[in-house]
Chain A
Amino acid sequence: GAVVSQHPSWVICKSGTSVKIECRSLDFQATTMFWYRQFPKQSLMLMATSNEGSKATYEQGVEKDKFLINHASLTLSTLTVTSAHPEDSSFYICSATLPRATNEQFFGPGTRLTVL
């Protein structure tokens, strides 16, 4: 099946710094990738839809200036958490859909962000 990777798998940073998370589709080209946030014991919350070569579409309530998304190539999307604060600590997961009719969604392993 399709493989999606994320890097780093976990990161600890100081309040006020910026953190970049990478999401890569390893064996397929993904024109669309999705970024989710998951709080402990809760389901996934869609943050934004990332389309290659265009601006990301953010969900209501998600600050686009705080969560910068770049989809520069068909295999890479990045999420940058700018000026991170402790309340940004969470599990961030990306996914990508195969470019065919099934639209099956494949997830990366997630990135645990802890802001001190």
Chain B
Amino acid sequence: KQEVTQIPAALSVPEGENLVLNCSFTDSAIYNLQWFRQDPGKGLTSLLLIQSSQREQTSGRLNASLDKSSGRSTLYIAASQPGDSATYLCAVKDFNKFYFGSGTKLNVKP
């Protein structure tokens, strides 16, 4: 069974810092990997989707990489802002299911 782990569980940084969130998965046979953002009491907002054949995706200040062979993905956030404060979740998809990590709670201090 696929297991997804996210490290660290929580992260607090000053505004303006660049940061990296990590996601690892145990079974490399995935279709895609998706990064989400969740604000307290809200649903999930899709940030980036990486297909299994891709190495990375970029959107604005966000860059996500995927190394399927080693079972790892990273989400890089450049020049962090207080508005980036949220919980970030990664999810991998196998044939018909999505498996979620437990998330990284990010706090960007002004």
Contact = CB atoms under 8 A, between A and B. Distances in A.
Interface of A: 1, 6, 34, 42-44, 46, 49, 91, 93, 95, 102-110, 112
B90 to A, nearest CB: 10
B43 A107 contact: yes
B34 A43 contact: no
B43 A42 contact: no
B46 A105 contact: yes
Contact of B31 (A43, A46, A103, A107): A103
Interface string B77-101: 0000000000001010100111111
Interface in B42-79: 42-46, 49, 51
A42 B49 contact: no
Contacts of B46: 1, 104-107
